[in-house]
Structure 1
């Protein structure tokens, strides 16, 4: 996509994300207007923050830039929906945020992940063995998407016959603007309510019953004097499930897509990842920088302030454009090059600060295991048709990626 001038640049329109991420437009913003007032089709507008250092500044300053005041989407939510999402961690400010986050983060420790690894490997192998029977498929949903849904469903002890429903609810909310995935505002609202209600039901069933699944551990254990209530868990359930699905699916499918475009890198990673585990680690970080599952999150100014010399008024919307920050050439050397050897890679694919993605290391582990097991079972992969991106200014990923898989 060719860069536009500031006068006709539009990074809100979801149609502008269908062919490719508008990286040239993001560069225009960073170079010419790093704190840019962008109009909104419903009236008014918002500030787009496109440079890495400014996105980090906003991410760190939760006192001045609130997630709670208006939530994290650039579109204003109806009052009844805004009330529902207040229980989600990603839309909380301190002091509400801290105790609840610590309750969750204690379940995502490195020790827990190490204990979980054999199970994730078994799940991955089962999915890939099924893919052997279907060598021509949509890689996004038939292969990559199966892993995070299965892992998060298994961790929470959700009945397996509900896993597909979890993914449908999740997709409806993150890709509402895509005609093949989303729906009307009423349908999206209904999906959110149904999902939260299901989470509440699961929490109520497992309260004071013991159990070692993630839901039981969250609702039955007190951390720092705080015990997660059924209502709090209903919102947590939506956030954990949506994030668990979207992030890893986009990472695996987007990462594989970039490797397919560069066969020499695919073969290098395939050949050397076992003898050089650091190569797999740096490759995954580069996949994250490049694919960045969410383009942005919004904050709202709690007082008059300034960013990069630009005056910001109280209640102004401020959008942190992660996809732009990840290609800032003042931070990343040759950012337009997909480099699996990149050593300095402070990307913001998982956000930053107190809202850093809870499942970041789980997503990394799932992706590492996926590629390790994929290389064992398959000798190659190639596109068998056009990969189609999600029509969204928020969710960054593919919805169709027809491939042919070559078993070993």
Structure 2
């Protein structure tokens, strides 16, 4: 089979399952050429993705960051200050600083505010009737939640989403921009985060920025520069992954009216359904690592300096782990999906995304008696981000 999973065009109709299955079955550690020269190893089986994820000493996030394309030097330096681009020991104190702000108790405290945001969005959409589900519902909730958590002025929320789209969907003609615009988006967003951190240093406020910038971990505080990079990660991840989860998950329910009605009538099934939506939609196709020494994965020799790509959206359909992986099953008992990654870089906002998706579905079923597609959805043209950019629907109020 001719394998090309680098081209963004391979993803314009969804996950390229045929190619991914061939890789898992025939070449699970596959050498893939890069159009600008050289190449990278593609790891497609669940067990091998976990192996790479756990071995952070051999497979570094920091050396070349997490994208398969090499970043310009100035952008790379800033990206390495994001948690997802750090290796221990630098990674550990900052992660602990953030994770203390995403405890179960903190999330419980956030639930009423998130529910109020969701209800306001539903009421607005109900009055319109026909909407692009991605922008008007699935995208608005995570933008509003992150904006509220960080206490960012509401008039900046659209700019935050635009910066985010430029960085994650640069290859899409509707969402992306020129290389210069993409690089500027990262710099501008980081600069804005730095300004916010400076403003809130020693402020005594209880928004997430103030809580992070004014605490100490292991005797060290988070600097304004460190927060600037962390800000980019929190804002981008908070927007992109939850938007993809909610919109793609709803699409699967629309295709299966019997499952839609089961969730509508039994909210207790929603948490399990969200896990299946995460496995099925997998908002990020991959992250990259760089080998720090000669190594081996599943018998394949890997040279020091080689790029290694963990293909989450292939691992999530591995027949060796999931029974009937091509069945969308909201009752799946065992669901060790990798939609949030694995190991020390497991997504910090994973439980926040789960909470947002659960509340969204609960409030959607309360507000609406049904939903109908009015046109075919369009996927983001990207080899990294998996999700719709358009999903035209008609909302049927109760």
Shift of 1:81: 1.1
Q: Distance in 1 between matches of 2:307 and 2:220?
A: 31
Q: Which residue of 1 aligns with 2:32?
A: 38
From 61, 66, 74, give the equivalent of 1:67: 61
Question: Which stretch of structure 1 is more off in the superposition, 220-229 or 396-405?
Answer: 220-229
Instruction: Write the distance in 1 (CA, Å) between the matches of 2:326 and 2:350.
Output: 24
Could you say which residue in structure 2 is the equivalent of 1:144?
A: 138
1:128 maps to what in 2?
A: 122
Instruction: Give the alignment of 1:115-264 within 5 angstroms.
Output: 115-264=109-258
What is the CA deviation profile of residues 285-318 of structure 1, one whole-angstrom value per residue up to 9, with x for unaligned ones?
0000001110000000000010010000000000
1:112 maps onto 2:102 in alignment: no
2:301 counterpart of 1:311: yes
Q: Give the match for residue 266 of structure 1.
A: 260
| Structure 2 alignment gaps of length 5 or more | none
CA contact (8 A) 2:52 2:59 kept: yes
2:14 corresponds to 1:24: no
Contact 2:60 2:290 in 1 (8 A): yes
CA distance in structure 2 between the partners assigned to 1:356 and 1:19 by the alignment: 27
Partner in structure 2 of residue 92 of structure 1: 86
* Equivalent residue number for residue 392 of structure 1: 382
Distance in 1, matches of 2:106 and 2:217, equals 16
Deviations 1:171-220 (A, max 9, x none): 11000000100111110000011000000000000001110000000000
From 50, 55, 62, the counterpart of 2:49: 55
Structure 1 residue 112, shift from structure 2 partner: 0.2
Q: Distance in 2 between matches of 1:20 and 1:95?
A: 38
C-alpha distance in structure 1 between counterparts of 2:73 and 2:148, whole Å: 34
Checking the alignment, whether the CA contact within 8 Å between 2:167 and 2:186 is kept in structure 1 is yes
Q: Which residue does 2:6 correspond to in 1? A: 12
Q: 1:66-120 CA distances to partner (integer Å, 9 max, x unpaired)? A: 0001100000111111111111000000000000000000000000000000000
* CA deviation after TM superposition for structure 1 residue 130, in Å: 0.4
* 3-state DSSP of counterpart to 1:133: helix
Task: Measure how far apart 1:224 and its partner are.
Answer: 2.4
SS in 1 for 2:188: helix
Q: CA deviation at 1:226?
A: 2.3
SS in 2 for 1:150: helix
Alpha-carbon distance in 2 for matches of 1:16, 1:312:
26
Classify the secondary structure of the residue corresponding to 2:288: strand
Q: Does residue 321 of structure 1 match 2:311?
A: yes
What is the alpha-carbon distance in structure 2 between the residues aligned to residue 143 and residue 52 of structure 1? Answer: 32
> 2:356 & 2:70 partners in 1: Cα distance?
34
Q: Distance in 1 between matches of 2:58 and 2:289?
A: 9
Provide the rounded CA distance (Å) in 1 between the counterparts of 2:103 and 2:137: 27
SS in 2 for 1:72: coil
Is contact 2:213-2:224 (8 Å) kept? yes
- What SS does the aligned partner of 1:342 have? coil
Deviation at 1:223, TM superposition (A): 2.1
Give 2:292's aligned residue.
Answer: 302
* Alpha-carbon contact 1:100-1:226 (below 8 Å) kept: no
Is the partner of 2:293 in helix, strand or coil? coil
Q: CA RMSD in A?
A: 0.6
Would the aligned equivalents of 1:103 and 1:226 in 2 still touch at CA under 8 Å? no
| Aligned with residue 331 of structure 1, among 321, 329, 332 | 321
Aligned to 1:344: 334
Q: Name the CA distance, whole Å, in 2 between partners of 1:19 and 1:72.
A: 24
1:355 is matched with 345
Whole-Å separation in 2 of the counterparts to 1:146 and 1:104: 24
Structure 1 stretches of at least 4 aligned residues deviating more than 3 Å after TM superposition:
none
Name 2:396's counterpart in structure 1: 406
How many angstroms apart in 1 are the aligned matches of 2:126 and 2:45?
Answer: 43
TM-score (norm 2): 0.99
